[in-house]
């Protein structure tokens, strides 16, 4: 098992990609903190994870609130005694074209997707720097690189994550911390289920591999970056998009 005994804190892990990452890491032997605004679903995910034979706790957390982030990491370390892996996965969309984009929709997306990752990374680095080891993996998006009509807030937040990742990688490499990002393309989850079949068919035409990705495709990349196999990788972006962006 590639993550035997590791302690992982995953945000937005109650469902979708975050849940798949949590289950995938647990299968590799990691103990998991399932942090999510939706504590009921987070609790169910933690139950599923414990059934795999590792430890898991559900933590109610809105990543955009500094006080909640501090207490969540306190709760995690009290339970697990260490923090080896942080996955900044919690994210939302509030789509509209620039001229119709409301300031509150800009703020909501930037607060959760970008500021939330800043707050969680800061708490994680405090712990990891003392340990002189740790992995931070942030879930960006292909739209950070390509842009996407209707997602001026979302694509800006996901592009911001790349700068955050590279800077953490430079600032804390000497403390044994690796920071990397993953940029998924179109992945089948609740976030993308809302699109019409016609839109989905149109999008498939832009993907050389001709199909959407699954949460497990993203999970495989996260496990790789969290494992010893990625010891010499930091400050990088791994693209998981079926060739949609090269
Ligand atoms: P999802 O199914 O909507 O799951 C996101 C999870 O994050 C939900 O459980 C959500 O809870 C939770 N969450 C929302 N706001 C939060 C907050 N303030 N604090 C803590 N948790 C919060 O989304 P997904 O498709 O799995 O996406 C996961 C990540 O991958 C996101 O960062 C997304 O931007 C990124 N991504 C997704 C795709 C894709 O095609 N699906 C592509 C590229 C990147 P509620 O449901 O209760 O709000």
Span 12-20, average pLDDT? 97
For ligand 1, residues with CB inside 6 Å are 11-12, 14-18, 36-38, 61-64, 89-92, 112, 116, 139, 141, 184, 186-187, 189-192
Domain ranges of the chain: 7-240
pLDDT of the residue at 35: 98
- Which of 60-69, 72-81, 148-157, 193-202 is predicted with the least confidence, judged by mean pLDDT? 193-202
Residue 193 pLDDT greater than 90, yes or no: no
Q: Ligand 1, atom 34: nearest CA belongs to which residue?
A: 91
10: which 2 tokens?
Answer: 């995953």
| 49 close to 72: Cβ distance less than 8 angstroms | no
Q: Ligand 1, atom 2: nearest CA belongs to which residue?
A: 16
94: which 2 tokens?
Answer: 């509030």
At 191, the pLDDT band (50, 70, 90 cuts) reads: confident
CA of 93 to the centre of ligand 1 (A): 8
Residue 83 CB coordination number (10 Å): 25
For 38-64, the pLDDT digits (tens) are 999 999 999 999 999 999 999 999 999
pTM for this entry = 0.98
* CA 209/CA 20 separation, integer angstroms: 22
Q: Is domain 7-240 given the CATH code 3.40.50.10800 in the classification? A: no
* CA 202/CA 188 separation, integer angstroms: 15
Residue 32 pLDDT greater than 90, yes or no: yes
For 174-188, the pLDDT digits (tens) are 999 999 999 999 999
131: which 2 tokens?
Answer: 């340990």
* Three-class SS state of 130: helix
Q: Helices 39-50 and 16-27 sit at what angle, rounded to 10 degrees?
A: 20
CA distances in angstroms from 213 to 17, 185, 232, listed in the order given = 11, 7, 27
CA of 174 to the centre of ligand 1 (A): 31
Q: What is the mean pLDDT of the chain?
A: 97
Span 205-223, average pLDDT? 97
Residue 195 pLDDT greater than 90, yes or no: no
Residues 6+ apart with CB under 8 A from 187: 17, 212, 213, 214, 215, 217, 218, 240
pLDDT of the residue at 51: 98
99: which 2 tokens?
Answer: 């001229």
Which residues participate in catalysis according to the annotation?
154
Which of 18, 91, 187, 244 gets mutated to test ligand 1 (max ligand atoms within 8 A of its CB)?
A: 91
């Amino acid at each position: 098992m590639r993550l035997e005994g590791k302690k992982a804190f995953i945000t937005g892990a109650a469902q979708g990609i975050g849940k798949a990452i949590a289950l995938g890491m647990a299968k590799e032997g990691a103990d998991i903190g399932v942090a999510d605004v939706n504590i009921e679903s987070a609790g169910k995910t933690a139950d599923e994870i414990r059934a795999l034979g590792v430890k898991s706790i559900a933590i109610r957390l809105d990543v955009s609130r500094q006080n909640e982030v501090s207490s969540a990491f306190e709760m995690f370390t009290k339970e697990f005694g260490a923090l080896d892996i942080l996955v900044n996965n919690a994210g939302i969309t509030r789509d509209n074209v620039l001229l119709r984009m409301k300031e509150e929709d800009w703020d909501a997306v930037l607060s959760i997707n970008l500021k939330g990752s800043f707050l969680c990374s800061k708490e994680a680095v405090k712990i990891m720097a003392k340990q002189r080891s740790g992995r931070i993996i942030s879930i960006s998006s292909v739209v950070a690189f390509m842009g996407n009509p209707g997602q001026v807030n979302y694509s800006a937040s996901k592009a911001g994550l790349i700068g955050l990742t590279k800077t953490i990688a430079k600032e804390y490499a000497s403390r044994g911390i690796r920071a990397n990002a993953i940029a998924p393309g179109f992945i089948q989850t609740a976030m993308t289920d809302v699109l019409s079949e016609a839109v989905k068919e149109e999008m498939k035409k832009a993907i050389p591999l001709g199909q959407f990705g699954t949460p497990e495709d993203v999970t495989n990349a996260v496990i790789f970056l969290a494992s010893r196999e990625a010891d010499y990788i930091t400050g990088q972006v791994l693209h998981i998009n079926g060739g949609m962006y090269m």
